[in-house]
Amino acid sequence: MMQIKDILKDFNKYAEARKNFTLRTKLVFIFCSVAIAMVLFFSYRVVNNAMNKILVVNEGGEFVHFKAMQTDKLYESLMKSHCYYTAYYLNSFDRLTIEENQARGLFLVNKSEANTIFAKYQADRAYGDALELGVIYRCDFDKINKLHVQGNEYNVQFTSVLSIISNTGTKKIRIISKGTAIRTTPKYPENVTGFFFKNYQQTYQPYEN
């Protein structure tokens, strides 16, 4: 009889221990589930916030001042750079850089429209004057007048100033440019901004200070 009681007593201890173990297991499972949920939530917050920011690094891969720039501000800055390079390479040349600058311009602007600009300089004997008389054409970006973003397209209008430098003096012409740019993969050194004008045109006006 005492043996049965001892067996039942041991069984009750075992059952109680198993019950406590099951309870502890449930508590650990609940705690782990809550912890995982919190980690996923904070990870989502970090990733979602990072999607709207881009870390700026220098050529060595180091963070610049460890600051993040808003995407729209960065793209606006890149667009200004793209307009600068576009105006420069399509309109700047001397006797040594005509072909080189034309080639660089084709990485920034639709080929057919870039060739239209080159053809105008050819028809105006600008290239001939550069080759034969040493005339220098230098175009400097002025400012963006309008910038409208529609989906993945950037409609922009900007101005630049073309200086024609000869042995008789300097003549200036204002260039009004407008086009629609799209984002592509940057390619150093031909296209460092990653923008490309899928359509582009220029008009010319007398320069006034």
- Give me the pLDDT at residue 51, please: 44
56 is a domain residue: no
* Position 63 in a domain: no
Residues 83 and 183 in one domain: yes
Tell the burial category of 93 from Cβ atoms under 10 Å away from its Cβ (0-12, 13-18, 19+).
buried
Please indicate, yes or no, if residue 132 is contained in any of the structural domains.
yes
pLDDT at 10 over 60: no
Question: Which amino acid is it at 126?
Answer: A
The mean predicted confidence, pLDDT, of the chain is 81
Instruction: Answer whether residue 119 shows pLDDT above 60.
Output: yes
Taking residues 71-95, what's their average pLDDT?
A: 91
Residue 86 pLDDT: 97
Domain membership of residue 43 as a residue range: 2-51
Q: Please tell me the total count of domains within the chain.
A: 2
Is residue 192 one of the residues assigned to a domain?
yes
pLDDT for 42 equals 59
Distance of CA 70 to the CA centre of its chain: 11
**Residue 179 near residue 197 (C-beta atoms within 8 A):** yes
- In a shared domain, residues 81 and 21: no
Buried b (16+ CB within 10 A) or exposed e, 20-55: eeeeeeeeeeeeeeeeeeeeeeeeeeeeeeeeeeee
CA-based max dimension of the chain:
128
What pTM does this model have?
Answer: 0.67
